[in-house]
Structure 1
């Protein structure tokens, strides 16, 4: 080989080096690009009688400056960061629904209670009563607005999930195509660096949506698996993902990710096995955080509404009529199941409500457990009749049709409670803030007896006075004009219960006061209680 040939070969080798350097510079801002390095090697010398004569330099290969381990760790870390970032963003939106300030729910509730305080101070003031009606309506409106805002958040989450799986499916198709190109190129004996960079970048992009596991094959292709074992990309074949309602409870608002392999049925994947990625973060937010937010809002609406309705029903209006409900609230909510069971849940104890969903899990056709999903606490029941007698967290569960063994029934008692709350009282005269019962001591009493406490235990429209256990349990006539307790000269001390609403007054059987009721000292006298007895403690 001549000196010219050696020089030409050296020029060509260094030209490749310069071209590669230019390639590196040109792609300095290209996402996923790995710097390339030209590896030169000495050309095997030519043997002569005087020894081996060198023949110059040649290009051995062009290497990618990258670490397989670091590339995988980077993809995994990016996946975790994407899940946390999207969830944090959505949680901040959820926090805004419950934010403080003058436009928040707390301010509306405080204003409502302050307005009631003004009515207590001036119970006949129509202006103060009108302000209460305004505050009631405003509180209900803000609860409905908060519920609507949660619906909007769920809608945008669903839209983002749909667009995310569309992007994943597109990237999976691209990766399958690149796998095919890489397999063909490696048949030439050299590594297609730029194709490898593109594939690694696609893997990183997919991991931004859903965390994957990469398994390399001997032909240069890489298999991509989601949820540990589902092959999103296998060689040159790509599968797809989709989001839809949960299979077990389609109407529950729960969203699941499904794996769709050509020629096979969709496989539902739980968000807890997905690892990182924005899809995983969105699913956790929708199925956990947003559900908890709905339950907290619904519990607040039901607890406030039921408590205020009960208190309103205990009082009298300006016209002397029993109070009617302040808020329209649901009384029962149906259960959701894809089995045979049919049931409802009703609200009975607002002070015991828990912000949670519930499941009935049948062990037999009639027996099973009620499970509070927020913490897993369970309550066993033997049959539908036994279940109806149980009050669980202020709720009663009623089965009209039992389920089959192994079936589950989901109850979401608070999820939509705030969306439909309405203020019902429209006239300021209808606020029932008057005490339904009062007592006055007889002016001619000669003893020192004082009224220690007053408690009404009848119904809003009672058939009669409910006497203590040692009294005559016979049915009593309506108490229209109040009652009078007339103490008689003892010992032993006894008193008559007189119905002042009849003419002449109806006298009920004598009884002796209990030790707590016995006046000391006692002389003949009377005490009058006005207005119909009601179930109240004032």
Structure 2
């Protein structure tokens, strides 16, 4: 095209028309997610040499560019990935917090109420209604445990479902990026950037980052290679790999999920470290850390408490006897104690509550010292100890008599049984007396208050009527204040109420930490997004001002063309 007034005005009108079209395109897409403001790049069309010098040939449209920043886009994507991971984990943590209720609806309260039920049994061991209360509260405790465990497993199933949904969406986004790569590479062959396609690809990658953190590398043809945060290739040019959800059973028998990459002939499991952000990272952290930790604490709490109750139940005897008149050892109160989901009450009859101790002790009336029996604690289960204890006989014949004698050497006393066997040599008041079987294994222990005189005696024998004995009920009640519960998370024994409080406290700390992390990462995401949008976003006020400017420029160019037409008409008239 020449450099005359017709050519100059035509070029000017075309350039201004292009700017008007682009401005209209910007205004149309003001609310389109991921859209980058476009602008027409103009340049002079050079000059044409004449003898009188170079005359300009007007303006030309060089290209249409988009206002964006690769650095800001990547920063926003990284912030979005971190925020999505933290928010997903927090949402799940808040649901998990509801599985361990507090106050009178909590497990600690139910366990304490079970122990408190033995107060009435100890006061009235022959009252079957008091024993029935024990069984009712045991069932209430087991029911609450199963409810909490069931809710935890529902959260696990929900996490697996969410992982599957996220992975399916990740695979779809990867395919979209691959297709857009192909379209962009083809369009770049024209020598001009396909801005709208590139915006669409950036938006897909932005959404992808909210599910799993990815990094991108641009190739010479304009396509982007997409890698997971840990370096695993996801998209290369127009080909996309696929992720897969792998499910397996862990050591506790819980079905857990992991991420795999689909290869030609199999699925290869990825290390969790290769998933560095996005909702998928949040789900993995929740499953592998928060949910597993709470499940472990609950199982530890239940196993420690119920095993202690079962052990104490086995140390006692029932209030009834068998058909031969023999006492009956207590059996487990709970079964399925290894996992909270399987906990159940084993006892069905209130008579099966082992409230009686298989052994009683009393001092002789003729004793001269201040000695009294403070406590008598069974160590071996009654089922093993009973055959080793002497049978019940008339009270005039002591069943197991202990006599305190002067030691041959050293302080204290020698304690001997009726056969002259030394039970304890050089025994000093304040120490426990431990009684062993023939193999040297302990059967029971006794604590004595006061100080005996030489020759003082203690008699031990099974109770004649176990239905009225409360020895094991009192021992069971004592479990309430003993450090019988151990949690993996703290590694030390504590009481049942303190242990449950620690469980709730541990979970509360995680929730609070999750809230802090989500708040910080959410703020960073907002700032990064605002910074990016300030660079690429469409400002309607600015576009309106440009619209007026380009309209005036177009009108001026049209006026030039109109003048050219009049000049041409004048020339024609002169020629005629």
Q: TM-score range by the shorter chain?
A: 0.7 to 0.9
CA separation of 1:91 and 1:223: change in aligned 2, threshold 3 A: same
Question: Aligned match of 2:458 in 520, 527, 532?
Answer: 527
Residue 166 of structure 1 corresponds to 168
Residue 450 of structure 1 corresponds to 371
User: Is structure 2 residue 481 aligned with structure 1 residue 480?
Assistant: no
Residue 515 of structure 1 corresponds to 426
CA positional deviation for 1:135: 1.1
1:235 and 1:312 map into 2 onto residues whose CA distance is 69
1:70 and 1:197 map into 2 onto residues whose CA distance is 14
Asked if 2 retains the 8 angstrom alpha-carbon contact of 1:43 and 1:56, the reply is: yes
User: Is structure 2 residue 327 aligned with structure 1 residue 325?
Assistant: no
Greater mean alpha carbon deviation, residues 448-457 or residues 300-309: 448-457
Asked if 2 retains the 8 angstrom alpha-carbon contact of 1:244 and 1:258, the reply is: yes
Residue 344 of structure 1 corresponds to none
Deviation per CA, 1:470-502: give whole Å up to 9, x if none. Answer: xxxxxx67433462427599998988745xxxx
Q: TM-score, normalised by structure 2?
A: 0.68
Within a 5 Å distance, the mapping from 1:66-465 to structure 2 comes to 66-245=68-247, 253-261=255-263, 263=264, 265-319=266-320, 321-329=328-336, 417-443=339-365, 445=366, 447-448=368-369, 450-451=371-372, 454-456=376-378, 459-462=381-384
SS at match of 1:178: helix
1:242 and 1:228 map into 2 onto residues whose CA distance is 16
Greater mean alpha carbon deviation, residues 149-158 or residues 103-112: 103-112
Within a 5 Å distance, the mapping from 1:40-51 to structure 2 comes to 40-51=42-53
| Higher RCO, 1 vs 2 (CA within 8 Å, ≥6 residues apart) | 2
Asked if 2 retains the 8 angstrom alpha-carbon contact of 1:463 and 1:478, the reply is: no
Within a 5 Å distance, the mapping from 1:8-23 to structure 2 comes to 8-23=10-25
1:35 and 1:112 map into 2 onto residues whose CA distance is 69
CA positional deviation for 1:287: 2.3
Greater mean alpha carbon deviation, residues 26-35 or residues 263-272: 263-272
CA separation of 1:20 and 1:433: change in aligned 2, threshold 3 A: same
Greater mean alpha carbon deviation, residues 100-109 or residues 483-492: 483-492
CA positional deviation for 1:278: 1.1
Asked if 1 retains the 8 angstrom alpha-carbon contact of 2:145 and 2:341, the reply is: yes
CA separation of 1:28 and 1:485: change in aligned 2, threshold 3 A: same
Residue 512 of structure 2 corresponds to none
Asked if 1 retains the 8 angstrom alpha-carbon contact of 2:42 and 2:62, the reply is: yes
2:355 and 2:256 map into 1 onto residues whose CA distance is 43
CA separation of 1:11 and 1:223: change in aligned 2, threshold 3 A: same
2:212 and 2:271 map into 1 onto residues whose CA distance is 12
Asked if 2 retains the 8 angstrom alpha-carbon contact of 1:316 and 1:322, the reply is: yes
CA separation of 1:438 and 1:12: change in aligned 2, threshold 3 A: same
1:250 and 1:328 map into 2 onto residues whose CA distance is 17
Residue 375 of structure 1 corresponds to none
CA positional deviation for 1:227: 4.6
Deviation per CA, 1:408-451: give whole Å up to 9, x if none. Answer: xxxxxx6xx001110122222322223332222233x1522523
2:424 and 2:253 map into 1 onto residues whose CA distance is 59
CA separation of 1:111 and 1:64: change in aligned 2, threshold 3 A: same
Greater mean alpha carbon deviation, residues 240-249 or residues 3-12: 240-249
Structure 2 stretches lacking a partner, 5+ long: 322-327, 430-450, 465-470, 476-576
CA positional deviation for 1:133: 1.4
CA positional deviation for 1:302: 0.8
Work out the number of aligned pairs and report it: 431
Larger Rg: 2
1:102 and 1:6 map into 2 onto residues whose CA distance is 88
SS at match of 2:64: strand
Asked if 2 retains the 8 angstrom alpha-carbon contact of 1:271 and 1:284, the reply is: no
Q: TM-score, normalised by structure 1?
A: 0.73
Greater mean alpha carbon deviation, residues 311-320 or residues 487-496: 487-496
Asked if 1 retains the 8 angstrom alpha-carbon contact of 2:415 and 2:427, the reply is: no
CA positional deviation for 1:522: 3.1
Asked if 2 retains the 8 angstrom alpha-carbon contact of 1:213 and 1:228, the reply is: no
Residue 374 of structure 1 corresponds to none
Structure 1 stretches lacking a partner, 5+ long: 331-413, 466-475, 499-507
CA separation of 1:30 and 1:183: change in aligned 2, threshold 3 A: same
Residue 31 of structure 2 corresponds to 29
CA separation of 1:329 and 1:480: change in aligned 2, threshold 3 A: farther
CA positional deviation for 1:249: 7.8
1:228 and 1:75 map into 2 onto residues whose CA distance is 15
Question: Aligned match of 2:64 in 52, 62, 65?
Answer: 62
Asked if 1 retains the 8 angstrom alpha-carbon contact of 2:93 and 2:290, the reply is: yes
Quote the RMSD (CA, aligned, Å).
3.2
1:219 and 1:490 map into 2 onto residues whose CA distance is 102
